[in-house]
Copies of this chain bind each other. A is one copy, B any other.
């Protein structure tokens, strides 16, 4: 948006005609950039008793460990998105089993759908957004080097549902659960 001085892109907050909320509008060309919540799809994917984690090669939180997860793309289902992310980040093939958690992060207008999945083989390798990938037993998980709070949440909820085949997805933890999990770190 820099070559043409007549138009610098959506940047002014205003209520477009016929709308009832402020949106980012380009005052030159009137283009309205509707901002919508974004969906993150990911998985807690296991091979036997080990959990797939990826060490991030990109910001934010480069060098920290995360679940294979990322923004859902157009024209895919949520499960297809979770499988695509496992492939992109860890060259892992997974079979999605159940919806493990739905996390609301309204501060950043994000909804995370985290599935429980099985790896179809233990062959994994870092994709372009990962420094390394690994399969971790529970007591080997790098708890103090997790990239995001929801990684901790999803791992704990996965552990709590081991052996269960039918359950409602977890939601954001209560302050009590959070405090308990943090004491365990």
Binding site for B on A (CB under 8 A): 1-4, 6-10, 21, 26, 28-31, 33, 35-39, 71-80, 98-99, 102, 104, 106-107, 109, 111, 113, 166-169
Contact = CB atoms under 8 A, between A and B. Distances in A.
Given A26-B31, A31-B26, A78-B102, A36 B4 contact: no
B36 A36 contact: yes
Contact of A167 (B10, B30, B36, B168): B168
Contacts of A3: 29-30
Given A74-B109, A77-B106, A8 B36 contact: no
7 contacts: A6-B6, A7-B7, A26-B29, A36-B39, A75-B106, A99-B168, A166-B167
